[in-house]
Structure 1
């Protein structure tokens, strides 16, 4: 058996330089080996930084998402845990079959590809409204004025939030989903917002039971298979998951993707000249900029061997999908942005039965938003030096706190891009 090298993941990514450019860090981890050891939230565990091993575990039924399904495993649900957190840790994303299959089948009856595709026109309208406001300013914070409000507006309308409540709802969501709130103190400060959101969503569910509409909450309430329906706690947990899946990935995809284009002016120019490349460009942005750094941990149901390393039963496995996406053995010239890359089998949305439910929505919003932005502004330059950009202190979700851009409206000559 091979001995796994020990690393401290938190320390590897704690510097501003590592958060701004994690590519060298991931390269270092992959060089250390296919399986590493690290202390994690769940105790002593293992880390997989390479593509082959990450994909293998994602599709291997010997690894559980729910720790309770490991012999001798215990639930993350504790007696002292607030009810709202119990809902989050019982989310579909942390379930295994058959519980996961039951929940997935029910939600897929409501959150359909047709429902997402039918949003195209409305996403375009919201995009144009946001750009109309941005065009009046010489400097635009792309995150605050575009990447954040677009998916927030879309998801609030999808859920059927009544018009008078939407502004307050969007403010509440922005606070609850703030990835910067990762410290214990920040979490405690954020907790009252989570309680308010929980109460708001329960009122919304009751409203849609009494007054059904053409919206996602109504569809979830009415979803049925073999006489089975989602109970109220499952509904709230599912809505939380959809809020996350339909919001945070899109925010980071737009912000990280636009920054990557600015830093690679040849690729930006190619996309301007060939707008039909937008679909492959989005896949490459997902791979290269990694809006999501890692997925929920897996737990070994039995003793398993990975790349010659023994993984004892019950061990937690951290899957670095961002590192896998940059693995040169799976992606030639992996450290280069190439919007024509194909095939592009990235794992930014996971793989297998836990493939991200919100992936079609994130792709749709980016497919509409990014070309509209490039068409409206022939010139996009960083308004601050690149080293001044602030990244959120969250390894699992990679995104910018702000992205100030100097812009010029249509009709101006494209200028120099800052790197």
Structure 2
């Protein structure tokens, strides 16, 4: 669902004794003021999310505690550490998500991460660069010469989907079902009724689809990431087909949604700060620094993925019982004044920039090199080829997607352009 402009500020005022679930499920246009009020009261607060877990769920809003949460071995990523009811509902409705590195602790996490870590090595990213550049230019070629359109639909959303499909070796023609699967599987796994039935339907479709793809790769090997995963599994005898399928759909979802948000949120931030936009146009060498600020200022994720405590512990001065959910508010950590000077200022030259958008420690995002590569090419090319880009409505009135996913992004980004430059090297 989306948040209407009149509802676009976080519904939490910061004055309630217990944080409502909307703080994480519907962050809206401006969750940062609410996070700041929370942080002034303390770094860790109880929250009723998933529903019914008010006494055993906490949100973490300061940089130091979020960093600790990412690396503390007593804060577990496994379903086994979660309450039994949550574990049973998750496995029943979406077991396809239960066998990848996202829901594992070392040493199991270390084993599963090997499936994908070599895919994102710098050398492989450089080999992928020409294809990302080609996709980016093709999408811009399809823009109207002059006119209005939705930049999310025309650019931010298709770019990472086309890249991840090419990288994995799955048909871009199947993009609609990938998007639908990602939408459903990104919802709260604790949902019941029709929502749970829909998750189970999608779960079965994903298993069938990728089981068929794995069989095809074994029959006709190809040089793509899925082919590499199959070879690694068969040669090392370290991975099951269930783990391969789970890893494949995880890569599709993670490789598309968060990078689309990086591009959309980054353009939105530049359009709200025309001085920074002109600075970046005049100094394209600042692109890498700008991307880090996009990730900090309006990051593509709002919070970390599932974590529960494996034992009783104290976090940020708050007693947190064993089996409690721990929601690491990345967006709040990225605006912590204890770490970032004038944190509400958008500054593409900011240095240092120790944002937490890609996580920290053993669960640092394996796909960060690909996201940064796509972001670099997307912004360099867009700003060079489209010299006049403007939002057709006040940017602060735009709706933000609000679901129980960890990601955070716009629903649409209506823009107007006046003229386009040819792609590099074109006659």
Please say if 1:8 is aligned against 2:19.
yes
- Structure 1 residue 111 displacement after superposition: 4.4
Change (3 A) 1:105 1:180: closer
Question: Which residue matches 1:173?
Answer: 178
Question: Which residue matches 1:407?
Answer: 417
Kindly indicate whether the alpha-carbon contact (under 8 Å) linking 1:245 and 1:357 is maintained by their aligned counterparts in 2. Answer: no
Please say if 1:142 is aligned against 2:151.
yes
- Structure 1 residue 145 displacement after superposition: 0.6
SS at match of 2:246: helix
- Structure 1 residue 109 displacement after superposition: 3.6
Q: 4+ residue runs of structure 1 moved beyond 6 angstroms?
A: none
Question: Which residue matches 2:323?
Answer: 314
Give the one of 284, 294, 309 matched to 2:303: 294
Question: Which residue matches 2:49?
Answer: 40
Distance 1:14 1:66 in 2: 22
Task: Return 218-227 or 231-240, whichever deviates more.
Answer: 218-227
Please say if 1:275 is aligned against 2:306.
no
Per-residue CA deviations over 1:67-99 (Å, capped at 9, x if unaligned) read 4247xx54844289547x112133311111111
Per-residue CA deviations over 1:151-174 (Å, capped at 9, x if unaligned) read 11111111112xxx431x112112
Per-residue CA deviations over 1:176-230 (Å, capped at 9, x if unaligned) read 2237974865675576455434322211111111111110001001115994332
Distance 2:296 2:321 in 1: 31
Question: Which residue matches 2:240?
Answer: 231
Kindly indicate whether the alpha-carbon contact (under 8 Å) linking 1:284 and 1:339 is maintained by their aligned counterparts in 2. Answer: yes
Please say if 1:66 is aligned against 2:72.
no
Change (3 A) 1:104 1:332: same
Distance 1:276 1:195 in 2: 46
Which blocks of at least 5 consecutive residues in structure 1 are unaligned? 412-419
SS at match of 2:28: helix
Question: Which residue matches 1:123?
Answer: 132
Kindly indicate whether the alpha-carbon contact (under 8 Å) linking 2:99 and 2:247 is maintained by their aligned counterparts in 1. Answer: no
SS at match of 2:183: coil
Task: Return 194-203 or 235-244, whichever deviates more.
Answer: 194-203
- Structure 1 residue 388 displacement after superposition: 4.0
Please say if 1:54 is aligned against 2:54.
no
Distance 2:357 2:90 in 1: 34
Distance 1:80 1:328 in 2: 37
Change (3 A) 1:203 1:111: farther
- Structure 1 residue 246 displacement after superposition: 1.2
Distance 2:263 2:20 in 1: 26
SS at match of 1:39: coil
TM-score (norm. length: structure 1):
0.88
Which blocks of at least 5 consecutive residues in structure 2 are unaligned? 1-15, 422-427
| C-alpha RMSD of the superposition | 2.5
Kindly indicate whether the alpha-carbon contact (under 8 Å) linking 1:76 and 1:89 is maintained by their aligned counterparts in 2. Answer: no
TM-score (norm. length: structure 2):
0.86
Please say if 1:86 is aligned against 2:86.
no
Give the one of 250, 254, 265 matched to 2:263: 254
Question: Which residue matches 2:11?
Answer: none
Change (3 A) 1:11 1:225: same
Kindly indicate whether the alpha-carbon contact (under 8 Å) linking 1:181 and 1:187 is maintained by their aligned counterparts in 2. Answer: no
Kindly indicate whether the alpha-carbon contact (under 8 Å) linking 1:36 and 1:46 is maintained by their aligned counterparts in 2. Answer: yes
Task: Return 99-108 or 335-344, whichever deviates more.
Answer: 99-108
Question: Which residue matches 1:397?
Answer: 407
